[in-house]
Structure 1
Amino acid sequence: MSVTPLATVRSAQPAPAFRGRIGRDARSGHYAVPRRYRLHLAPACPNGLRIAVVHSLLGLDDACPVTFLDAVPDGPDGGHSVLRPLYEASAHRYAGAAVGPVLSDDWSGRIVSTHAPDITRDLARHFGGGRTAPYPCGAESEIEAVERMCGQGIEQAAQAAGTAGPELAPGEGLDRLLETLGALERWLVGREYLIRDQITAADVELWVALVQLDTVHRHHLDAAVVHRIADHPVLWAYARRLAAHPAFGVHLDLDGIARRHHAHCQGLEAAGSAVQILDWAGHAGRSA
């Protein structure tokens, strides 16, 4: 199965502070041992939500414990003060923000990685144990294409549609956003999941992007624009189905998302704030 239309979109993610990987044996340094590693994440953060969903799909509560962070970082630099000791133990005189998500090594007390895609891939590769496979064999290029599409075609386009920016004018952002949603709407007709007959990391990526679109970005869009976004019934029915799945909806921290948004947002609220697309509260399982 091909998702060629998605593959033309390129992403521009900031470089992670740490990008270690979990290996297969002792020679790799960070090798796979149950309960050696710990996740530090806030489900109100998009990357934290992605990791939390994959972690639940894999059933890793015992093999890789999770420490949940507050939705709103308490540091003046946008970092979490509770993570500062980990960062300082991992890099001499670390001067950056102590941000989540983090995969840490309890044996050494240091950080393995702060790169969300690597973290989810390593958890699936080394701790999956035959459960639902978020990264099925042969699907990596399709998953990467969906990640790029969601990053630019939904996340960045929605931001540009809500406010003028250096890369896209608001009209261009809206056009790109609606084009992306339209392509996904057509793609999902007759399909339960995005690229396979099972849940994959592509579904996690798209679902988180849709959560952000409805709970964050619509607050800066006109009501008429939000109605156009909502006019993709197949796509939003897909989002609703996934929200009902126990590995997805349980991690929805709506209050945390709202607090995080208001703490960081500098844009003006628009009429779209009153036009909710889905009733996420019916599936939410966490509170801050």
Structure 2
Amino acid sequence: MPFPPSARITSDGTSPWPVEPGRYRLVVNRACPFSGRVLVVRRLVGLEAALPVAVTDPLHDDRGWRFTLDPEGHDPVLGIRYLAEAYEAAAPGYDGGVSVPAVVDVPGGRVVTNDHDTLTRDLATQWRHLHRPGAPDLYPAELRADIDALNSELADDVFFGVYTCGFAKTQEEYSAAFRRLFDRLDVLEERLRTRRYLHGDTITESDIRLFTTLVRFDAAYHGLFRCNRNKLTEMPVLWAYMRDLFQTPGFGDTVHFADIKLHYHAVLTELNPRGIVPEGPDLSVWHTPHNRERLGGRPFGDGTPPPAAT
């Protein structure tokens, strides 16, 4: 759920929060799939300078996400030790969940939005005048209805479905979520057999959302969340599709498997009481040939790949 006062940042005058380069700070955690979406979009369209990023520690304490990766344990721009401080600044007395990604207004030090659902779409559209030359159109007007419909289906069955499997309180709840998850993955396996990307020949926001969940599948969800009918690597079409995306500039270079494994296995003590972090899986397989080029397609449409990550 979005933070209660959460608002959209727009360039069309529909929000009190205007798009301004350098005004906001994007707070993420590299273990979080919803943060991952924003990092991929930001990189593909070239918003790194316009929307600087702050990275929280994959481990946290009872106050939640913290800036212990930074010198002296506080964010050098916001001057805070915990993201919760920016939530409190936006809603004094707030004692609800503190989630990432979150966009903080730097002058006011307060959270503006943590709505991951609208944030990626807004970065692709409302921030367009700040995109790099050659930025791909990730949310093309002619596909928006189809993208929104598929995103909604994937959210119910996959993006949140893995969490329902992991945190189910009854056998019935778990089994129902498990069936929905793998039924949907089977549908995707067939959908992607004859098309390179979810909506055809070019990457869209749907591909980004699916990527950031499935890239975590074998490293976290298969074992820890009991999503264990099979591994991603055992679904040949989806596995090739995911390697194709992983090897595309802007995707794999935003993924940090060490943070992913550490966060899920060391923080979620309800599921892993001893906090032991697994050594596997073998990550070198992400760099093996995928052979998806045979399907054709233009990953960035009329645009160009982002420059090499620094």
Aligned residue runs from structure 1 range 34-73, under 5 A = 34-73=21-60
Match of 2:146 in 1: 142
Q: Provide the rounded CA distance (Å) in 1 between the counterparts of 2:160 and 2:44.
A: 27
More deviation, 211-220/51-60: 211-220
| TM-score normalised according to structure 2 size | 0.75
Q: Secondary structure at the match of 2:41?
A: helix
Q: Provide closer, same or farther for how the CA distance between residues 254 and 281 of structure 1 changes in structure 2, counting only shifts above 3 A.
A: farther
State whether structure 2 residue 105 is matched by structure 1 residue 119.
no
Aligned residue runs from structure 1 range 12-91, under 5 A = 14-24=1-11, 28-74=15-61, 76-80=62-66, 81-91=81-91
Aligned partner letter, 2:153: M
State whether structure 2 residue 185 is matched by structure 1 residue 181.
yes
Aligned residue runs from structure 1 range 152-163, under 5 A = 152-159=156-163
Aligned residue runs from structure 1 range 86-105, under 5 A = 86-105=86-105
Q: Point out the structure with the larger helix share.
A: 1
Match of 2:74 in 1: none
Shift of 1:167: 8.4
CA RMSD of aligned residues (A): 3.1
Name structure 1 gaps, 5 residues minimum.
1-13
- Cα pair 2:23 2:106 within 8 Å, conserved: yes
Question: How many residues are paired up?
Answer: 267
Shift of 1:16: 2.9
Shift of 1:243: 0.6
Q: Provide closer, same or farther for how the CA distance between residues 27 and 155 of structure 1 changes in structure 2, counting only shifts above 3 A.
A: closer
Q: Secondary structure at the match of 2:27?
A: strand
Match of 2:78 in 1: none
| TM-score normalised according to structure 1 size | 0.80
State whether structure 2 residue 252 is matched by structure 1 residue 249.
yes
Q: Provide the rounded CA distance (Å) in 2 between the counterparts of 1:39 and 1:226.
A: 35
Match of 1:202 in 2: 206
Shift of 1:150: 2.7
Shift of 1:192: 1.2
